[in-house]
Amino acid sequence: MSNIQAVKQRFGIIGNSPALNYALEVAIRVAPTNLSVLITGESGVGKEIFSQIIHQLSPRKHEGFIAVNCGAIPEGTIDSELFGHEKGSFTGANDQRKGYFETVNKGTIFLDEIGEMPIGTQARLLRVLEAGEFIKVGSSKTQKTDVRVLAATNVNLPKIIQQGKFREDLYYRLNTVPIYVPPLRERQEDIPVLFRKFCVDFAERYKTSSVKLTDDAMELLSRYTFPGNIRELKNIAEQVSVLSMDKIVERNDIVKFLPQNGLSMVPSVANKNEQEGFSDREILYKMLFDIKGDLNDLKRFVLNMASGGKYDMPEEIPFPTFKSDAYLPTGMDLPTKTYVKSNEQHELQAAPIIIDHPSQYAENPIDQNYSLAEMEKDLIVKALAKHHGKRRDAALDLGISERTLYRKIKEYDIDA
């Protein structure tokens, strides 16, 4: 723990959450080695600082270090940037150029947003990792390099591997040691400390006194999800420091600086259903099944009337007859009207209701309620038939992803 505290002080890292401390511990342990490291985490969590920690604590600390944003370099020039090119190798190549793998030889290269790297460049990078060699653009000469590669991404690499956008062999070469940097919402205990530090820094910059938050305001700030993570918290601290009229900021004041869609409110019924495994589509299916059951009851009622028989009404007939209001989406209210019979037994005579062909109800038995799985399978089969087996179009029609459709086809053993 003393090593972790020393690293925090050296690199200006604030926070003491267990997830953050574990990520730092892994970085400290892997730094003296030459292993490749894949740093994962959302945008704005500070992945680049971990690459600097690993480099500065490694035997390569006196050699070169360069950070490259793979998503910011055009696909047509990234090979030249990383591996260099020969004169005349392409239009505009007026001189020979050294790439980053040549200029930082013996040092460390940090490839940020590695998931945005083109497939062709990924093959070149894989050769560097496996054999320590590369070929410049427009050259046939192999060159050696001794560079430690650190990579970072905010996307799910296994997912884009399935989409054919990232090489699986490169993923396993980079992911020798994984480091996960937690988002700010997973380290809420660090938010008050970080906010106070940012406010003090901005007070010094703008030559003013630092703002302070009341307990209620700090509690609301800590509940915010911070999709932009550290960057967003720093921006909010700067806005509050500059725009707040009072130096004691209360709850009603801090809420003005927080986007409402990022506030963590009390879980709703819909959220509860999602936690229990119900999707919006499944909720809709359930409602349709319950309505279908009510229609079946209505058919029986009409048949009985057409035949001149008696029909004993139940004590109460709720409308509509949903089996459980737990399936209702948030904000949807049901009608409360209820039909109640009197104490006397009602005898429903054959009223002058005209039914063209009452026999059609007797000839066709009333359908039994489908299960959720059967209804879903039936919809998938119909969608595939409608689009002549084109799964992408069927998935769009069903409102699900193509990957989910593949899984459902396999799960229900649908011949498609």
Q: Determine phi and psi for 25, rounding to 5 degrees.
A: -60, -45
What is the pLDDT at residue 351? 40
Instruction: State how far the Cα of 23 lies from the Cα of 400, in Å rounded to an integer.
Output: 36
- HSE, CB side, 13 Å, CA atoms: give it for residue 401: 4
Its pTM stands at: 0.62
The domains of the chain are located at 2-182, 185-262, 280-363, 372-411
What is the pLDDT at residue 344? 43
Identify the helix (H) or strand (E) that includes residue 248: strand 248-249
What is the pLDDT at residue 170? 96
**Class of CATH domain 2-182:** alpha beta
What is the pLDDT at residue 189? 93
DSSP conformational letter for 365: P
Q: Token pair of 108, please?
A: 């460390």
| Domain 185-262 CATH assignment equals 1.10.8.60 | yes
Residue 128 CB neighbour total at 10 angstroms: 19
| Sheet of strand 37-40, all strands in order from the earlier edge strand to the far edge | 65-69, 108-112, 148-153, 37-40, 177-180
Q: Token pair of 168, please?
A: 């699986």
Beta strands in 276-386 (DSSP E): 316-318, 338-340
What is the pLDDT at residue 335? 44
Q: What is the pLDDT along the chain (416 residues), one digit of tens a residue?
A: 668 999 999 999 999 999 999 999 999 999 999 999 999 999 999 999 999 999 999 999 999 999 999 999 988 889 999 999 888 778 777 788 899 999 999 999 999 999 999 999 999 999 999 999 999 998 889 999 999 999 999 999 999 999 999 999 999 999 999 999 999 999 999 999 999 999 999 999 999 999 999 999 999 999 999 999 999 999 999 999 999 888 899 999 998 898 876 555 433 333 334 333 444 555 565 566 667 667 777 777 667 766 665 555 444 444 444 444 444 444 444 444 444 444 444 444 444 444 444 444 444 444 444 566 777 888 888 888 888 888 888 877 777 877 788 888 888 888 76
| Domain 372-411 CATH assignment equals 1.10.287 | no
Look at the block and give the residue holding tokens 């047509």.
76
| Closest C-alpha to 289, from 339, 327, 338, 335 | 327
